[in-house]
């Protein structure tokens, strides 16, 4: 056995054979930790023969259903044996709540909590009316001891990876997170147990550090939403066993998270007849279309530089549409403050909302309401042209099904939709 040591930065994971006082990578002081990386000099090489792809025996995946339809939709049908999932989201968004709700649907779950005591979890389970008779709970942070104590659970939950301690690394450091995750993945693959690793979003917006775990795990699922809004979105950004374009929709209630099978009803408000500055659009989240209400407020400003406040939409897209309206519709928007938002806390990044934004801004500026239940989805180009967007038929069906009209979908130019001047 050849004894070798390395010095690893506990802040960023940088390693080298010599000690360092200041990390050459992240420039932090006194973060060098010495670790043993001994290599056996007597290790023999073995012959490895490649296998042709058409000769590999294909096995059908047997999935473990969570019995939560929105979660299964994102996973691709359920959990795969040996699958390791990074479940990330901001603190307080509802990660622990939805994972605890799995207990009612799957037997023999082991829930490892490094953040809450057993009594705290029991109180939350009682509040959510969850039958926890089949749940095995471990409230500890010693990962090596935890893994040794497990006896083939049907599902393993680690909440959260930042609290799991292994080796001599400090809590929450990148080196500790990476080392702990590697051990969990090795256990899950060897025992063929689906495993969920909970990772908090840091202040910088990264999951459990600078996205260092995403390439290690099989699936990455983000739980998104605002703490002061009931809407929650479950979004997959990586999935080796399923699609990455599906979205699960939940609503936070006093009884935990409930599934939303028809998201459009969350974002459709009862508009008052004659209200100005509002237009509906059809957004796509994954493969699911649902209606959203775009609202705009245009008011005169005493400032030399008018305000542009945008919520739930791309700030750059709103700026672009405002410029197109000024040039091709002759609206003097440079003299007005413009506030644009999506009602209900939804975020729309795609350009399909361009036409609805333009109509809402023009409606507020002219103080003229659109026809009741007007819906528009199209991209607006820099030349003032109206472009069709992907999956228009699916969007159209969703709008018509809910009783909305599409009066502007066949228009070619923005000037045909919005009259010049007042």
Question: What pLDDT, on the 0 to 100 scale, is given for residue 110?
Answer: 95
C-beta atoms surrounding 132 within 10 Å = 18
How far is CA 371 from its chain centroid? 35
With tokens 């058409």, the residue in question is 54
Q: Is 59 among the domain residues?
A: no
58 domain residue, yes or no: no
Compute the mean pLDDT over every residue in the chain, rounded to the nearest whole number. Answer: 86
- Say yes or no: 168 and 190 in one domain: yes
pLDDT for 422? 46
Interval 391-418 mean pLDDT:
90
Q: Provide the pLDDT for residue 393.
A: 92
Verify that 315 and 341 share a domain, yes or no. Answer: yes
Task: Name the DSSP class of 243.
Answer: -
Domain membership flag for residue 422: no
> What are 187-221's pLDDT values in tens digits?
999 999 999 999 877 655 555 554 668 888 999 99
Q: Supply the range of the domain harboring residue 107.
A: 64-261
Q: Are residues 253 and 271 in the same domain?
A: no
Q: How many CA atoms lie within 13 A of 335 on its CB side?
A: 5
| Structure tokens belonging to residue 346 | 């939804």
In percent, the amount of the chain with pLDDT more than 90 equals 46
Q: Domain tally for the chain? A: 3
Q: How far apart are CA 331 and CA 414, in angstroms?
A: 12
Higher-confidence residue of 60 and 307: namely 307
Residue pair 318/354 in contact by the 8 Å Cβ criterion = no
C-alpha to C-alpha distance for 228 and 232, rounded to whole angstroms: 11
Whether residue 239 is found in the same domain as residue 161? yes
Q: Is residue 46 part of a domain?
A: no
pLDDT band at residue 421 using 50, 70 and 90 as cut-offs: very low
Nearest to 159 by CA among 178, 188, 173, 139: 139
Tell me the two tokens of residue 137. 């709970």
Residue 144 lies in a domain: yes
Higher local confidence (pLDDT), 180 or 170 = 180
Regarding predicted confidence, which is higher, 25 or 68? 68
Listed residues 231, 261, 291: the one ending a domain: 261
- Assess contact for 184 and 158: CB atoms under 8 A: yes
Q: Give a yes or no: residue 364 inside a domain.
A: yes
pLDDT tens sequence across 232-277: 889 898 999 988 888 898 988 888 899 988 888 777 766 556 689 9
For residue 44, is it within any domain? no
91 alpha-carbon distance from chain centroid: 13
What pLDDT sits at residue 256?
A: 86
Same structural domain, 114 and 244: yes
Nearest to 296 by CA among 379, 380, 354, 211: 354
In this structure, the answer to whether residues 111 and 232 fall within a common structural domain is yes
**Residue 270 has what pLDDT?**
60
Q: In Å, what is the CA distance from 131 to each residue of 72, 99, 122?
A: 21, 13, 10
What's the token pair of residue 186? Answer: 């090795």
User: In sequence order, which ranges of 137-229 are alpha helices (DSSP H)?
Assistant: 143-149, 174-191
Give the single-character DSSP code of 271.
Answer: P
Please say whether the dihedral angle defined by the alpha carbons of residues 10, 13, 18 and 22, taken in this order, is positive or negative: negative
The yes-or-no verdict on residue 348 having pLDDT over 70 is: yes
| Shared-domain flag, residues 241 and 309 | no
CATH of the domain at 98: 3.40.50.300
**CB within 8 A of 269, min separation 6: which ones?**
293, 343, 344
Query: Is 245 inside a domain boundary?
Result: yes
The rounded distance, in Å, linking the Cα atoms of 11 and 172 is: 9
Q: How far apart are CA 327 and CA 285, in angstroms?
A: 32
What's the pLDDT at 61? 79
On whether both 227 and 321 belong to a single domain, the answer is no
Rounded to an integer, the average pLDDT of 169-178 is 70
* Residue with the larger pLDDT of the pair 181 and 230: 181
Query: What's the CA gap between 161 and 94, in Å, rounded?
Result: 16
The answer to whether residues 186 and 249 belong to one domain is yes
CATH number at residue 356: 3.30.230.10
Average pLDDT of span 341-360: 91
**Average pLDDT of the segment spanning 288-302:** 92
**H or E stretch at 249:** strand 247-253
Of 114-128, 207-221, 286-300, which range is least confident? 207-221
User: Rounded to a whole number, what is the largest CA-CA distance in the chain?
Assistant: 86
Do residues 255 and 277 both lie within one domain? Answer: no
pLDDT at 297 over 50: yes
């Amino acid at each position: 056995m050849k004894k070798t040591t390395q010095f690893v930065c506990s802040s960023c994971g940088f390693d080298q054979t010599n000690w360092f006082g200041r990390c050459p990578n992240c420039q932090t002081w006194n973060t060098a930790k010495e670790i043993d990386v001994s290599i056996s000099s007597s290790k023999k090489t073995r012959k490895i023969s490649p296998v042709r792809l058409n000769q590999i025996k294909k096995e059908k995946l047997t999935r473990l259903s969570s019995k939560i339809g929105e979660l299964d939709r994102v996973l691709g049908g359920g959990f795969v044996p040996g699958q390791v999932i990074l479940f990330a989201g901001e603190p307080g968004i509802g990660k622990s709540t939805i994972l605890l709700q799995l207990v009612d649907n799957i037997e023999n779950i082991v829930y490892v909590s490094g953040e809450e005591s057993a009594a705290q979890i029991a109180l939350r389970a009682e509040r959510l009316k969850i039958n926890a008779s089949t749940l095995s709970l471990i409230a500890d942070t010693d990962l090596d001891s935890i893994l040794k104590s497990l006896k083939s659970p049907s599902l393993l939950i680690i909440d959260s990876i930042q609290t799991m301690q292994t080796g001599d690394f400090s809590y929450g450091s990148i080196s500790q997170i990476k080392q702990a995750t590697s051990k969990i993945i090795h256990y899950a693959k060897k025992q063929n147990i689906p495993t969920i690793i909970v990772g908090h979003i840091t202040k910088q917006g990264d999951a459990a550090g600078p996205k260092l775990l995403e390439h290690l795990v099989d699936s990455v699922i983000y739980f998104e939403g605002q703490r002061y809004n009931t809407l929650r979105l479950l979004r997959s950004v990586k999935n080796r066993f399923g699609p990455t374009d599906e979205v699960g929709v939940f609503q936070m209630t006093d009884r935990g998270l409930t599934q939303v099978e028809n998201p459009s009803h969350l974002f459709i408000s009862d508009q008052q007849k004659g209200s100005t500055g509002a237009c509906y659009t059809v957004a796509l989240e994954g493969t699911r279309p649902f209606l959203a209400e775009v609202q705009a407020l245009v008011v005169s400003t005493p400032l030399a530089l008018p305000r542009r406040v945008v919520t739930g939409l791309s700030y750059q897209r709103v700026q672009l549409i405002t410029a197109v309206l000024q040039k091709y519709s002759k609206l003097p928007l440079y003299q007005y403050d413009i506030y644009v938002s999506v009602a209900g806390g939804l975020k729309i990044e795609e350009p399909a909302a361009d036409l609805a934004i333009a109509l809402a801004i023009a409606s507020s500026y002219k103080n003229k309401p659109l026809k009741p239940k007007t819906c528009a989805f199209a991209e607006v180009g820099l030349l003032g042209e109206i472009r069709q967007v992907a999956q228009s038929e699916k969007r159209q069906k969703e709008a018509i099904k809910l009783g909305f009209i599409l009066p502007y979908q066949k228009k070619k130019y923005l000037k045909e939709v919005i009259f010049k001047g007042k």
